[in-house]
Chain A
């Protein structure tokens, strides 16, 4: 059985922003499901931790939220990306890709290849 990985600090915010960019306005449950789904159920995510994070992103101005009708006659809080959020997403994507590239290059070096 595969062990599930913990999410690295800070990457969850990026996942949330990306999810909202791709899917448009969405409620917390939807965001959580989407993140699980994309990660192929390899992430150990306590879904509840999404809500403090969503609040934080909202207070930073990256996302906005409002009540909306949900299926089955209740209401759910829908989150959407703001313009600031879009910019933040672009910046964080760049940073992340850069880090990933550096790590990949670093780990690809074998004993024989000495630059």
Chain B
């Protein structure tokens, strides 16, 4: 509950741009002047009284930083700042920006094309009805098998021959079964 409240408060401050530290500065000024008065009462010179008050307060910049980090969300703030800065810089140098944008576009385009080809050829199922019923047929014969000339690859093994392509009569016989 507590962290949630804290987070909401910080988001509210971030959204309403109330991440400034006007309040802190005012409080600090008030604090220092009170401490200075106190020191004066205990008999210091005005300059010394102020100096001691500041010393006692601590490292102002560090505390201010801490205050600011507590008030808002420094991470988001710095991201926003970075984005703003980079758009400004990119807008300034058009040549660089366009070269970068074009090479990015080309690279992304090439990648997409290559991947879609590979996907069609290697990864997807063949685009036919009932692709799950497809089988790859292969035949083997011994040393005495006689084969006429045919297209496609054939495996010539010492103990015979085999191939994944069939003669037309063989195809006709298997397809009618």
Residues of B within 8 A of A32 (CB): 31
Give how many B residues have a beta carbon under 8 Å from the other chain's beta carbons. Answer: 28
Q: Tally of A-B residue pairs with Cβ under 8 A? A: 75
Residues of B within 8 A of A60 (CB): 2-3, 5-6, 9
Question: Chain B at the A interface: mostly helix, strand, loop or mixed?
Answer: helix
Q: Is the pair A51, B28 in contact by a Cβ cutoff of 8 Å?
A: yes
Residues of A within 8 A of B31 (CB): 28-29, 32, 47-48
A74 in the interface, Cβ–Cβ < 8 Å? yes
Question: Chain A at the B interface: mostly helix, strand, loop or mixed?
Answer: helix
Interface size class for chain A?
Answer: 20 to 34
Binary interface encoding of chain A residues 38-62 relative to chain B, with 1 for a CB under 8 A from any of its CBs, else 0: 0000000011110110011011111
A34 in the interface, Cβ–Cβ < 8 Å? no
Interface-facing stretch out of B41-49, B64-72, B126-134, B169-177: B64-72
Chain B residues close to A by CB (< 8 Å): 2-3, 5-6, 9-10, 23-24, 26-28, 30-31, 33-35, 37, 56-60, 63, 66-67, 69-71
| Top 10 A-B pairs, shortest CB-CB distance | A46-B58, A59-B9, A48-B63, A48-B58, A52-B66, A48-B57, A52-B67, A59-B6, A61-B5, A29-B31
